[in-house]
Chain A
């Protein structure tokens, strides 16, 4: 609210001009929103670890952690204390520098992305006019940390996991970016705040196919189950963090949940009209939507078994990629046909197009998802 006076101005510069109503100008704004962003990430990660374990428990007819404090709410703090007090083990033959750097390299990009996330109208650290491009560019960097962890550990399972991570990120970046592109086409801006402002109807209705592709692709990119192939504990021990212990492991754990938070935040911002909503204050709407999206992530994780690596690649290249291209073309035609803004009845057309595309394209999967037919 405090920054809306300049929210939609200044296309030319990367940073918006200094807010006049803040004493001391830019630096106070920078300090306050840096603290808010870091606190938001850390507190939400603490909450998400608790929330995921509780929700998974209840979805599987269990209780989940309920021993520490009322309803087990201080369980994440206990986990953090446990991780902090554990011995830090570095393998003898490890590439020590890379091994030490990897958790930080994985964590920093995830934290950086929250710079451009609007918690309320204009309430963000930097309203970049290339916001979503910044998100896509920076968030993929945390794969580098995972590769460093896999390489530095000098462990074959870690390396397999790291290679899987790269394969997943490279494959799923394309459908994810294409589905983001159709959202950007519809909103007419790359700034996350402007995308939220453009959503008089949430884009989940206007762009159902893009939402589906983004949801599947991004959850594969951040290695959430059912695509958690790089931590597939039945195949490759614990994947890239096999050789990590103590606080370095906790940092990877933090990255995992910070990425889940990032996915929830991005879906909220891009498809669920961000902080907008009736009655309640914007930041509360934002939090409610983030937690709701994360609940869906947990729900999917509880339900589905893990996919194989060839199924993962097949889904990306044979299903999500062509559908996202078709969706982008259809969206572009719609935007060209109605330059003043796509009318809301088009959402029924878009939902129909999604249903037809998914059912008809799935009929092309005649090879049984990589199942080998053995001739007698």
Chain B
């Protein structure tokens, strides 16, 4: 017979819950408040660097889904080697194998994660749509240099506030 049957366990439990009353809630009110994601996130888009890319199509071969298509042609008038890349991000599983395979660091995972689209044809992206920009930030996946510039991941908001009108 353990001596704990006189209700001390209930008192202990009550103490635990009353402690929670005086700490900050963990709720993040998502659209208004956002946490910093991992600096090495494989977010749901690809970022392509048209300067470094040679059109070798290693990424296309590494892709287990076959979501990346690369077509190259020689533009003799401009004396240029044209690369035509098309990524069906609807098929992309964000595995990051293309980024690991690329010998020239010309393709990166994206840092953002809010890239849902309203139309099916919008998820097939090519060439200029894949370039880095203000809204298409490169993730630090496989590239520590970029990771060092991104904000550190947060798991909790410092102080949760109520919704501001």
Hey, which bits of chain A sit against chain B, CB under 8 A?
Answer: 55, 57-63, 66-67, 70-71, 299-300, 302-304, 358-359, 362-363, 365-366
**Docked pose: A359 CA to B23 CA in angstroms:** 33
Contact check: which of A57, A59, A67, A302 meets B163 at CB < 8 Å? A67
**Docked pose: A62 CA to B26 CA in angstroms:** 6
Q: Which A residue sits closest to B20, measured CB to CB?
A: A61
Contact check: which of A58, A304, A358, A359 meets B21 at CB < 8 Å? A58
Contact check: which of A58, A304, A359 meets B10 at CB < 8 Å? A304
Given contacts A299-B17, A365-B5, contact A62 B27 (CB under 8 A): yes
Q: Is B25 at the interface (CB under 8 A from chain A)? A: yes
Given contacts A62-B26, A63-B25, contact A363 B5 (CB under 8 A): yes
What 0/1 pattern do residues 86 to 130 of B give for CB contact below 8 A with A?
000000000000000000000000000000000000000000000
Q: Which A residue sits closest to B28, measured CB to CB?
A: A63
**Docked pose: A281 CA to B78 CA in angstroms:** 90
What 0/1 pattern do residues 10 to 21 of B give for CB contact below 8 A with A?
100110111011
Residue among B1, B17, B26, B163 with the most chain A CB within 10 A?
A: B17
Q: Is B162 within 8 A of A66, CB to CB?
A: yes
**B163 CB to nearest A CB, Å:** 6
Q: Is A63 within 8 A of B5, CB to CB?
A: no
Q: Which B residue sits closest to A358, measured CB to CB?
A: B6
Q: How large is the interface on B (under 10, 10 to 19, 20 to 34, 35 or more residues)?
A: 20 to 34
Q: Mind listing 6 A-B residue pairs with CB under 8 Å?
A: A63-B25, A63-B27, A63-B29, A299-B14, A304-B10, A363-B5
Q: Is B5 within 8 A of A60, CB to CB?
A: no
Which residues of A have CB within 8 Å of B7?
358, 362
Q: Which A residue sits closest to B1, measured CB to CB?
A: A366
**B161 CB to nearest A CB, Å:** 10
**Docked pose: A55 CA to B27 CA in angstroms:** 14
Q: Is B160 at the interface (CB under 8 A from chain A)? A: yes
Given contacts A58-B21, A302-B17, contact A63 B162 (CB under 8 A): yes
Given contacts A358-B6, A362-B7, A363-B5, contact A59 B25 (CB under 8 A): no
Which residues of A have CB within 8 Å of B18?
59, 299
Beta-carbon contacts under 8 Å, B122-165 to A: 160, 162-163, 165
Q: Is B26 within 8 A of A363, CB to CB?
A: no
Q: Which B residue sits closest to A365, measured CB to CB?
A: B5
Which residues of A have CB within 8 Å of B162?
63, 66, 71
**Docked pose: A55 CA to B22 CA in angstroms:** 11
Q: Is B1 within 8 A of A363, CB to CB?
A: yes
Sample of 4 further A-B pairs with CB below 8 A, known A61-B23, A61-B27: A59-B20, A61-B26, A66-B162, A359-B6
Which residues of A have CB within 8 Å of B3?
363
Which residues of B have CB within 8 Å of A303?
10, 13-14, 16-17
Which residues of B have CB within 8 Å of A365?
5
Q: Which B residue sits closest to A67, measured CB to CB?
A: B163
Beta-carbon contacts under 8 Å, B42-67 to A: none
Given contacts A362-B7, A363-B1, contact A300 B14 (CB under 8 A): yes
**Docked pose: A299 CA to B162 CA in angstroms:** 22
Which residues of B have CB within 8 Å of A55?
21
Residue among A58, A61, A300, A359 with the most chain B CB within 10 A?
A: A61
Which residues of B have CB within 8 Å of A60?
17, 20
